[in-house]
Amino acid sequence: MLRAIQILGCSSGFISQRLKKPHSGNGFSLIHSKRSYSSTSLSLRPFWAPKSRSFRVIRMLSTQSESNSDAPSSSSYSVAVHSAGNVHKIKFCQWCGGLAKHEIPDGEEKIRAICTICGKIAYQNPKMVVGCLIEHDRKILLCKRNIEPSYGLWTLPAGYLEIGESATEGAIRETWEEAGAEVEVVSPFAQLDIPLIGQTYIIFLAKLKKPQFSPGPESSECCLFELDNIPFDSLAFSSIFVTLNLYIEDVKSGKIKFHYGIINKRIRFLSGRHMIRV
């Protein structure tokens, strides 16, 4: 399988990176070979982190998508670019209950669900997922999911932002609900957009107010992992996989940075005998 991350540099041009299977289960290493204003191939070594820009844009690519009936293949995605989300699943108007038709409204470019009675247009917007990357004694707090999707796999405490919350408030709430931990947000760490499923992840660096945590209803277990022991073979989502790798890179480089990335497909990583759904 092709596994790649493309980094779009703000001041150093376009740099593409290819992921390599680690030697010790610590994730995939990323390394710059040089910096320029043109495309640059990168060599691969286990977790040598570049001492470079404080802001990076990452684009994640794959030739194999996760098994999901709602996720279009690479060929269908290019064809369906003018539709918005799962617009064809909207059959009725949410305001009056009238039958919906699917076409491009005047002055717009994407197919929308339009009520045939009241004429209102149903717009679908991405959902924001917020969470915390909690460091304590050089360890990271992870939760084992007790619900689907990705039951039994590990993740950072995170979930959907609620109406009326700020992003930090939502991240703190989700951490309490999933890990029973009271945290203080330190700074934003990563924003990862996943256009194909209409989600944006915002992950904050945080620290424990008290060295106490316990699994909530959506978690079966919570544990602090040393960086070398993070269970990359059993991570729940691509966003968590990327976030943890970026954090390890930053720790190795001695400088914590903010990262922005785009994950273009749901992918699978093969590590040892385990297939990770991400």
Distances (CA, A) of 144 to 13, 199, 277: 39, 21, 14
Position 46 scores a pLDDT of 30
Position 233 scores a pLDDT of 94
Mean pLDDT of the residues in the chain: 75
| Local confidence band at 228 (pLDDT 50, 70, 90 cut-offs) | very high
Close Cβ partners of 111 (under 8 Å, ≥ 6 residues apart)? 82, 83, 84, 87, 88, 102, 103, 104
Position 199 scores a pLDDT of 96
pLDDT tens for 161-179 read 999 999 999 999 999 999 9
- For residue 79, is pLDDT > 50? no
| Local confidence band at 86 (pLDDT 50, 70, 90 cut-offs) | confident
- For residue 271, is pLDDT > 60? no
pLDDT tens for 4-32 read 344 343 322 222 333 333 333 333 333 22
Position 85 scores a pLDDT of 66
Position 83 scores a pLDDT of 53
Position 214 scores a pLDDT of 98
More confident of the two residues 198 and 40: 198
Stretch 226-254: mean pLDDT, rounded? 96
Residue 179 in contact with residue 141, Cβ under 8 Å?
yes
- For residue 185, is pLDDT > 50? yes
User: What pTM value is reported for the model?
Assistant: 0.70
Residue 245 in contact with residue 156, Cβ under 8 Å?
no
pLDDT tens for 193-210 read 999 899 999 999 999 999
Position 84 scores a pLDDT of 58
Stretch 207-235: mean pLDDT, rounded? 97
Residue 13 in contact with residue 38, Cβ under 8 Å?
yes
- For residue 192, is pLDDT > 60? yes
- For residue 126, is pLDDT > 50? yes
The order of strands in the sheet holding 121-122 is 100-103, 112-115, 121-122
Stretch 91-111: mean pLDDT, rounded? 96
Q: What does the chain come to in residues?
A: 278
Domains of the chain, start order: 88-124 (2.20.70.10), 127-262 (3.90.79.10)
Position 264 scores a pLDDT of 87
Q: Please state whether beta strands 183-194 and 199-208 pair in parallel, antiparallel, or not at all (unpaired).
A: antiparallel
Q: Number of helices and strands (H, E) in the chain?
A: 3, 16
| Local confidence band at 276 (pLDDT 50, 70, 90 cut-offs) | very low
- The C-alpha angle 65, 156, 154, rounded to 5 degrees, equals 65
